[in-house]
Structure 1
Amino acid sequence: RFVHSAESAASGLFLAELVKVLGNQDTQREKYLSSAIRIANYLQTCVLPQQKWFDFETFFSCSVKPLDFYDRYTGQYPQNTLVMHWTAAFLLTLYEVTHNTNWLSLGKRVQDYLNLYQQVWNPPFLSIYGFGGFGVMNTDGEWNDARQSQFGCTQADYFLATDEPEYLERAIYAVRAAFTCAFLPANKKVYPTGYRRKPQGQAAENHGHGGHEMLCGVSGFDWGTGSALTGAAYLLHRLGGAYVDIDKACGFGIDGCFIRNVETTADTVSLK
């Protein structure tokens, strides 16, 4: 892996999650926490200022380029959404174990930048229903990539941490988008060019990978159907099939439903 890159966020996420499960009496806890904070400081200082979201895939996968690539026209370095996600998830977990709001603020900054890669429209030039999905890089052409499911899980986590409804709205549609490219008869309307593919139940990794309208291949159960199911299970576990905020009189349909209106009285809640 790249030693000096945003890939370090994955190690930071592991350390922060480890700290979360260790008791305060564990003699190694402070050492792990100190290492996690050092990684967070590195990301804040060396990655975020110029949005250098580099990992192996950025340079050596489907969009090969030199390590010093920089697009002078747009003023951007190459970026990969996967390391953005690792960083957002890491900083949120670090906030949860330290209660330092700086990490939450920084994590929101990264998550909001990652959200710019979410498809908040249904592109008319695609045969699939593209709303809610995620792209991969700013130098590649995938739509509705399988990573969208785990991104949705972290968006939901940010909703629970901040109570900002946009995160949950985005999370629901990211996880729903993870099922769009599954080879299922039920997907006839959202995946008309691919729903008949075999084996039934598998899912394409993404769509339009070549930069134009085209079907894409299956990379594995854990990066397609499996990741979609995992994301759905996570939302159901954390939030249920529908989430209703009685105090704000609003609700969010999660599992196959939509909530358009919430009305409350002293002893009743009515959903439409």
Structure 2
Amino acid sequence: MKKNTPIDVCIVSGSRPFLLEAMLESFQRNLFVNFQIRSMFANVDPFMGDQRDQEKCVELIRDRFPEAVISSPSKSGFGAAVKRLWLQARDEPILHLEDDWILKEKVTDAVLDEFREDGRLGMLVLSMDKHDAEITPKYLTRRKEIRIFGQRLPLPFWRVNAFGTSPRFLRSGLANRFAKEMIPDLDPEKQVFRGKNKQLSALHEKWRSKLLWSSDKKTLISDIGTVYREEHGYRKNELDGMSVWLPEEKSS
């Protein structure tokens, strides 16, 4: 099969070799082999692991992509990781991945034709288990929010194009444009929808997000991170626009 359009791949990973290996294996089998991959960029945070785990994750990526550009910061920061990766991707469409998803169905580079056919399409979002092809809208939207006296107020009849960082393809050059406006200390999605980054919010609202399905309308990806975090006693907290995963306190 001829692979016409090169892509860059960006991977946000914690120091969780078990998850990363499963993700890489599933995408290698169902997607990587069907694309021309120009560059691989990865960020491996020390999240939920020690230095040995972080080094193992780097090895797992280099085993498949020896020329990968990999950052291994000493401090975890999801927003900073996304910004760092998206700034490096410029002239090709990118596939943005996270270490806690697996790909269940085959995806070929024919999906990139969607960007050529729709000039307003910014993101092709890989459908996940919570989506239903019969009832989920083709284009993803979110309610517009405003802040009044420090409180967030969703506007029921004002919806805007969705923005996110779950596994997805982004139009050529768009990730770099988003990254330039990102505040690295904040969660990428929350700074868009919580009124914390007006420049990024205004930029993303111009671009549509469309769900991508398998050829027979099956969902493409499954979350493998939630159960892993629960098994390791981590819970999600939100602090000033940041998503923070902390170990649950054990009762004495």
The reply to whether TM is greater than 0.5 is: no
The TM-score, its normalising length taken from structure 1, stands at: 0.25
Structure with larger RCO (C-alpha < 8 A, sep 6+)? 2
The TM-score, its normalising length taken from structure 2, stands at: 0.26
Larger Rg: 1
Which structure has greater strand proportion?
A: 2
